[in-house]
Structure formats: structure tokens, C-alpha cells
Amino acid sequence: MTRSRDLRHWLPVGTGWVIKLCLIAAYLAGAVPVWRSQAKIVAYAETVELISLVMKALMTHIFPAYLLAGGGLLAVLLLYPFGRKMAQDQLESIGLVNHTGAVPILLRRYRDREHPRVFVWVFQNQSIPLSDWGDRRGAIETALDITIVQIRYGRGKNRVLLYAVPARTDLPEVIPWKDRYLSPDSFVLVLGESLLGPVTINLDRTPHILLGGSTGSGKSVLLKLLLMQALQMGAEVCIADFKGGVDFPPIWHEKCRMCFEEQELLDLLTELTAELQRRKGLLKARGCSNLDDYNRAAGGHLRRIIFACDEVAEVLDRTGADKARKEVLAQIEARLSVIARQGWAFGIHLILATQRPDAAIIPGQIRSNLDCRICGRADSVLSQIILDSTGAAEVIPKNARGRFLLHDGTVFQSYLFDEGSLHLGVSA
């Protein structure tokens, strides 16, 4: 295995422009003596008897023959992915095959223009779901001796692109937040950095977020990073904190609407769903399809509303609850479900965090509408619940803090946000 990896670095696929330039130079350098001696070769071919006709024709047209044959060979050396067979064998050995046993085929490997450290491996996918690639991410990294930055479909689902850097390249353990990282675009929130650069989410495209990770993985820090940005962008932020306020010091209480117990939460969510209905009426009257259109058309200033809950599974867990409490919890769930389904158009967003590896607690209808999924350090059960793949268990190191896997396969280090220097510029 080690030998074959060493060998692969000598092969033209992705070996870089130096080898490619050497090959071209050798081809051109070879053309000079052939051109200079072609007259002698032609004369020699004419004098020699008993030489085959093909040989004679070749010698008589030695220079065009060199250009053609050499050019063809050069093209093959430059373009053919010689590492293909090796990559295929490695992927087969880790069981990345489709239902008929076919292995993905390496079509190309090239350096990414925007990120010179990154190579893009283009595979013909053989109808293997992207989640299978995600589930085997760690094994693929070992097999191909790379660190994967991102896995995604190429043009259509029959191509899978692996964005990868050399093995053992890693992100920094801490990246401090700086105010200048705040996105200038309306409701683009910055999460952190991957090896491809800053990682952002646009609430217009992925309006609700499900954030998971085991205890100490960095959920609360990331949640507060997002809420801080939302406040700076002028949103109204509501926070359900059932941990007695330990995670949200008093500065948050000044800027956000806080609720600490179930009835208060139900009242808040009832208000939010009523606001949703009110906004629905306003937008309908103006013939607008979303909040930004309405604000533009009506010169209005309806603010976005973010509802965040740091431990949603604890809040929704009905275990041991009496009838009255069960009723309250059912209503909380129903209102969350309405916001998850309809909130987007009316600028009402959910950010729900959990550390509980319990699929039953977050109802499917809410979960399926939380389309932005982020998972930190987690076991395979929690990773499966959050991302529908065991990827986070595979790629986030056991001691990592603030390291997350996004639903699109991007691994990033979230910015470390220092509350001590909190400047929540906009008052709620």
C-alpha cells in the first residue's frame, strides 16, 4: 500500500504543472534532433534494401511521424488519469460500491483554481448515494491518503466531486471572530472557516437550522455566534434557555427576548405564529411572496425574527410529564411545526440545537423542514439524526471543539466568539 502511494506521486494525474511542463519540454526537445537529422534518415531509408514498406514509409516521413505519435503519447500522458485503477482498488477495498458491486471511476484529478492547495477528484458515481460517500469519508481519506474538504455532486448525480488536500492538513484549533467577518449581504450568516475559505449560510435559501453535537462540542458558542450576527443585522432574537441562564449572560437578556420555562415558551411561540399569520395577511394584500419583497414594495420594515433553543430535545421530551404538561408540550411542538413549515416566507427562522441522540424527540415534520444541518463532535447515532449520515462521527476528532460538519459535507472550524467583548450593536 505505501509503495503504491509513493508510486502514485510519480504519475501524471494531479502531479502538477512541473511534471506536465517537463513532458512537454521533452517532447519539443526530442523534435529538434529528429527534424535536423530527417534528411539523413530519408537518404538512408532510400539506400537500404530489404526494409519493410511500413518501415520505409516511417523513415521517409520521420518528422511528421514523430509529431503525430509523440503528440498522441503526450496527450495520453497529460490527460489520462493513471491513478484510476489504484483509486478504484482502494475504494473497492473499503466497500464503496453500488448494489451491483461497481466501483466509482476516477475520471479526472485537477488543482482547484480558486484554492491552489485543493485537488478536485472527479468520479463517475455509479449511482452511489452521496450519503454513502459521507458515511465512508474517514475510510476514503485513509484509502486515498487525502483529507477531504468537501464531497458534493458534480453536474448531475452521476458525478461526485471530492475536494481534498494532502493528508494530515488540518484546520486551526481556534479561529477568533473579528467584526469585519460580518457579511455585508442581507441575512448571510458566517459560521467559520473550512480549508476552502469562509463558510456561510443564507437564511433566504436555508431558513431554519438544526445544530447537533455532543456535550462540549461547541454548539452554544456557534449558536451565539449566529445570534450575535443576526442582532447586528437588525433581527429580533428570541431565546428559549431552560438551563437557568448559565449559557446566556445578562447582556443577552438586554438584547433578546428570553424565556426560561414551558408556559412562557408556549406564549412566545403563540405570539410568533400570530405574527406569522399577520405577516401572511400583509404580504397577501400587497401581492408579495416574501418579506424582502414586501419591505421593498411597502417601504416597510418588518424585521426578521429568529427563535433559538439551545437544547430542544430537553424542551420537547414528554417522558414522565403529567397530562397538563403533555398538553403544553404538544402545543409547543405544534407551533414550532407551523413556523418550520411556513416561517421562511415571513422572515421567521428557527435555530434549534440538541445534544441528545434520540430521533423520537424532534418530530419528523419539524426535522424535515430544518434544512440547514450542522453537526459537531458526535457519535454515529447523533450524526445520523442530524445529518442523515454518520459523517460527523467519522471526521470530527474526538477532542475537537468548534469543529463541525455541514449538511453539504463541508468540515469547518467555527469562529470562537468572545462574549467578553460583546458589541451587540443593535438594540432589540
Ligand X SMILES: Nc1ncnc2c1ncn2[C@@H]1O[C@H](COP(=O)(O)OP(=O)(O)OP(=O)(O)O)[C@@H](O)[C@H]1O
When CB distances are held under 5 to 8 angstroms depending on the partner's kind, the choice from ligand X, Mg ion, none that residue 217 binds is ligand X
Q: Report the site for ligand X in 31-90 (rule: CB under 6 A).
A: none
- Decide which of Mg ion, ligand X, none touches 355; Cβ closer than 5 to 8 Å per partner kind: ligand X
Q: Which of 147, 206, 220, 229 binds ligand X (CB under 6 A)?
A: 220
The burial of 180, by beta-carbon neighbours within 10 Å (0-12 exposed, 13-18 middle, 19 or more buried), is given as: exposed
Count the site residues for ligand X by CB under 6 A.
14
354 binds ligand X (CB under 6 A): no
- Out of 401, 409, 410, 424, name the contact with ligand X by CB under 6 A: 401
374-391 burial code (b ≥16 CB/10 A, e <16): bbbbbeeebbbbbbbbbb
By C-beta, is 227 or 291 nearer to Mg ion? 227
Site for Mg ion in 384-423 (CB under 5 A): none
416 in contact with ligand X (CB under 6 A):
yes
Query: Sign (positive/negative) of CA torsion 95, 388, 162, 414?
Result: negative
Of residues 255 and 401, the one with the C-beta less far from ligand X = 401
Residues 167-196 that bind ligand X (CB under 6 A): 174
Q: Cell numbers 506521486 correspond to what residue?
A: 9
SS3 string of 321-381? CCHHHHHHHHHHHHHHHHHHHHHHHHCEEEEEEECCCCCCCCCHHHHHHCCEEEECCCCHH
What is the spatial distance between Cα 214 and Cα 382, in angstroms, rounded to a whole number?
8
Nearest approach, Cβ of residue 216 and ligand X (Å): 5
Q: Is 354 in the site for Mg ion (CB under 5 A)?
A: no
CA torsion 7→391→214→406, rounded to 10°? 100
Q: Work out what residue 97 binds among Mg ion, ligand X, none; the CB cut-off runs from 5 to 8 Å by kind.
A: none
**CB under 5 to 8 A by kind: which of ligand X, Mg ion, none does 414 bind?**
ligand X
Residues 198-217 that bind ligand X (CB under 6 A): 213, 215-217
Q: How far is CA 10 from the centre of its chain?
A: 31
Residue type, 27: Y
Q: How far apart are the first and last CA of the chain?
A: 60
- Cβ-contact 109, 81 below 8 angstroms: yes
- In angstroms, what is the minimal distance from the CB of 376 to ligand X? 6
Q: Give the residue with the Cβ less far from Mg ion, 120 or 353.
A: 353
Of 194, 220, 384, 390, which one interacts with Mg ion (CB under 5 A)?
Answer: 220
Contact region with Mg ion (CB under 5 A), list: 214-222, 227-235, 275-283, 378-386? 214-222
Residue 372: which of 115, 118, 187 has the closest Cα?
187
Q: Which does 16 bind (CB under 5 to 8 A by kind): ligand X, Mg ion, none?
A: none
Beta strand pairing status for 188-194 and 197-202?
A: antiparallel
| Shortest spacing between CB 80 and ligand X, in angstroms | 43
Binders of Mg ion: how many residues, by CB under 5 A? 1
Contacts of residue 272, Cβ cutoff 8 Å, sequence gap at least 6 = 238, 305, 307, 335, 339, 348
> Do you know the residue count of the chain?
428
Nearer to ligand X, 103 or 231 (CB): 231
Which of Mg ion, ligand X, none binds 279 (CB below 5-8 Å, type-dependent)? none
Applying CB under 6 A, among 14, 218, 357, 409 the residue interacting with ligand X is: 218
Non-local (6+) Cβ contacts of 397 within 8 A are: 377, 403
Residue 401 touches which of ligand X, Mg ion, none (Cβ within 5-8 Å per kind): ligand X
Q: Is 219 in the site for ligand X (CB under 6 A)?
A: yes
CB 354 within 8 A of CB 212: yes
Report the residue from 12, 83, 104, 402 that binds ligand X according to the rule CB under 6 A: 402
Task: Name the residue among 97, 141, 124, 197 with its Cα closest to residue 391.
Answer: 141
Quick one: which segment of 91-99, 114-122, 215-223, 362-370 binds Mg ion (CB under 5 A)? 215-223
Where on the chain is the footprint of Mg ion (CB under 5 A)? 220
Where on the chain is the footprint of ligand X (CB under 6 A)? 174, 213, 215-221, 355, 401-402, 414, 416
